[in-house]
A and B are shown apart, each in its own frame.
Chain A
Amino acid sequence: MLAYVLRRLAATIPVMLIVAVLVFLMLRLTPSDPAAIIAGDNANSEQVAEIRKRLGLDQPILTQFAIWSGKTLQGDLGESFFFKKQVTELILDRLEPTLSLAALTIVLAVVIAIPLGVLAAYRHGGWLDRIVMGFSVLGFSVPVFVIGYLLIYVFAIELNWLPVQGYQRIEQGAWGWLQRLILPALTLSVIYVALIARITRTSVLEVMNEDYIRTARAKGQTEGRVLTRHALANAAVPIVTVIGLGVALLIGGVVVTESVYTIPGLGRLTVDAVLARDYPTIQAVILLFSLAYVLINLVVDITYTFFDPRIRY
């Protein structure tokens, strides 16, 4: 088991290395001079040269990559052009809102989607099944920000139940924190619920015809236990896989949701960085989110043994 974990961890290294190369090359592959883009339209040639030197762009490309990756591994992500701060500091500052939003969304999505998917499979072809399937197609099609504004309109403006926008740090009160996160998390969970409910339905449906389900029923097991202990437990692996893969959707959604609800998290930082062409920050955020995505999927792979003891490594 430990050997497997280590081997898988090692396997993520080439993937992250390629991500790092891509992120590094991002600036160098531009048709125009990155230093000129950063300097802006009104810069004179001395300023451009100064920026080029500061970025180390006058060095050979391999040297540049070696210096850059060495620094990145030490946690030094450079200085933000726009915020005039260390990027690492900037990211740490924005981490809490994004992590809160993502965690709440995952919890919400799993709690809503799995029962829905199981019930849809159980009542296969019935009205609930149709609603769940219809919802899952709809969930993939309605853009995150449209859902966001719809929820704001209904719950914050018309009904006045929840605050419209903004964020409150958790140390300033958990209730205020939760109040401001409910709508964003609901918004973001829609597409995730659609994804998880759909896969739950499919994989539960697949195991429902297995012999052990019939056996469980024959020995007088209640339907609830048949569904949870026998059907869902055996359908867990694809569901967990999709929860991991869905993190990519989640990360995309975070960027948009944070903008809709004006949450000062990493997603908002990314948008601001792109608008300001703040390349060190853009590179850092892309690296960080990709690393998170790869690591989460690594963890998901490792949990397979827990969900399905037949899998041995």
Chain B
Amino acid sequence: MSIEALPAEIAEGPPTRRQAGTVRMLARNPSVVIGATIVAFLAIIGLLAPMLGTIDPAEINPVFRNKMPGAERTIRNEDGTKSTFVHRFGTDSLGRDIYSRVVYGARVSLVIGVTVAALSVAIGLVIGLVAGYVRWLDGIIMRFMDGLMAIPAILLAMGVVSLSRAGLLAVVVAIVIPEIPRVVRLVRAIVLSIREEPYVEAAITVGTPTPTLLVRHVLPNTVAPLIVQGTFICASAILIEAILSFLGIGIPPETPTWGNIMAEGRALFRIYPHNIFYPGVCLAFAVLAINMLGDGLRDTLDPRFAKRV
């Protein structure tokens, strides 16, 4: 099946042994440095969202609807004093502050990206180890994965989302399921090649029990490729979440996510393009940074993999 020829899954050999000074090598790779810096910056923004001059991102203000970026609004404080609040990025058609929503949106996007990456790597690793090590299950598991991979990822995610009520959990599950087969393939390919290595055969000969063998000899070889794969999954998860929310089938619209802000801005796009522009730029930046990080990690941690792609 030609689907098996996916370039991202070409990893027929064990990854190279981790060299001393991996960190130093990473620090010398410009992609890693730039990508990691932007990701860290976004993570800090997400973490410190309440302190960055934001107001409640869900606060609806009918009087201040559809304001252009830079619009000023006087807020009457509880003690009677007045202060001015500037809507840096304008407001949406419900009068919510776009700047606050974009800043809080970073939280949701990053949380989804990391959660999806961790879950799909963990689940895929277990299934991949089983498929690679238990011969009679291999065929069944891999045919099942072929079937899953034949369904385009976004469609599969949409199908899963349609089955339950919209929410964070449903969206995470919907994005994890299409990613699992890709991880399974990668892990299985690594396991199959490691099995033939002399040190594994030696370990089997001296009677190492299978669980120990897997943990001590097979698992370490999957770490580098999985870190790389996980990074790319993180980027694609953020994109798919934004797509689902943008289409109105993702996270409930009151939650500030970049996709939701853009979905809200669709109707009035011709007059107020900023509703789509600001979250769009943030989204592109975040995904770009994570992809760069992934490219750099692949080049440093997994050079054999890098040469083939």
Which positions in A face B, CB cutoff 8 Å? 11-12, 14-19, 21-23, 26-27, 29-32, 37, 137-138, 140-146, 149-150, 152-153, 157, 164, 199, 202, 241-242, 244-245, 248-249, 251-252, 255-256, 259, 270-271, 273-275, 277, 279, 282, 285-286, 289-290, 293-294, 297-298, 300-301
Q: Which residue of A lies closest to B6 (CB)?
A: A245
Q: How far is the CA of A142 from the CA of B295 in the complex (A)?
A: 16
CB distance from B133 to the nearest CB of A (A): 22
Q: Which residue of B lies closest to A271 (CB)?
A: B247
Q: Which residue of A lies closest to B157 (CB)?
A: A252
Q: How far is the CA of A18 from the CA of B146 in the complex (A)?
A: 8
CB <8 Å contact, B152 and A146: no
Answer whether residue B215 sits at the interface, using C-beta atoms and an 8 A cutoff.
Answer: no
- CB contacts (< 8 Å) of B159 on chain A: these are 23, 26, 274, 282, 286
Answer whether residue B47 sits at the interface, using C-beta atoms and an 8 A cutoff.
Answer: no
- CB contacts (< 8 Å) of B283 on chain A: these are 143, 146
A26-B160, A244-B2, A271-B158 given. 15 additional CB < 8 A pairs? A15-B1, A19-B147, A19-B151, A22-B151, A145-B280, A146-B283, A149-B273, A242-B7, A249-B152, A255-B154, A274-B249, A279-B162, A286-B155, A286-B156, A293-B152
- CB contacts (< 8 Å) of A294 on chain B: these are 3, 150
CB <8 Å contact, A282 and B280: no
**Known contacts A16-B150, A18-B147, A19-B151; is A157 also within 8 Å of B291 by CB?**
no
CB distance from B194 to the nearest CB of A (A): 26
Scoring B3, B155, B262 by chain A CB atoms within 10 A of each residue's CB, the highest score goes to: B155
CB <8 Å contact, A277 and B162: yes
Contacting residue for A271 out of B151, B153, B249, CB 8 A: B249
Q: Mark B292-309, 1 if CB is under 8 A from A, else 0.
A: 100100000000000001
Q: How far is the CA of A5 from the CA of B288 in the complex (A)?
A: 41
CB distance from A100 to the nearest CB of B (A): 19
Which positions in B face A, CB cutoff 8 Å? 1-3, 5-7, 143-144, 146-148, 150-156, 158-164, 235, 239, 242-243, 246-249, 262, 269-270, 273, 276-277, 280-281, 283-284, 287-288, 291-292, 295, 309
- CB contacts (< 8 Å) of B246 on chain A: these are 143, 145, 256, 259
CB <8 Å contact, A146 and B280: yes
CB distance from B42 to the nearest CB of A (A): 13
Q: Which residue of A lies closest to B161 (CB)?
A: A274
CB <8 Å contact, A164 and B270: yes
CB distance from B11 to the nearest CB of A (A): 16
- CB contacts (< 8 Å) of A298 on chain B: these are 2
Q: List 13 A-B contacts (CB under 8 A).
A: A27-B163, A145-B243, A145-B262, A145-B280, A149-B276, A153-B269, A202-B309, A274-B159, A274-B162, A282-B159, A285-B155, A294-B3, A297-B2
Q: Which residue of B lies closest to A248 (CB)?
A: B152
CB <8 Å contact, B3 and A245: yes
CB distance from B273 to the nearest CB of A (A): 6
**Known contacts A143-B284, A145-B262, A157-B270; is A251 also within 8 Å of B154 by CB?**
yes
CB <8 Å contact, A137 and B262: no
CB distance from A9 to the nearest CB of B (A): 12
**Known contacts A143-B242, A145-B246, A301-B2; is A19 also within 8 Å of B262 by CB?**
no
**Known contacts A18-B144, A30-B163, A270-B155; is A290 also within 8 Å of B150 by CB?**
yes
Q: Which residue of B lies closest to A274 (CB)?
A: B162
CB <8 Å contact, B248 and A143: no
- CB contacts (< 8 Å) of A23 on chain B: these are 159
- CB contacts (< 8 Å) of B269 on chain A: these are 149, 152-153
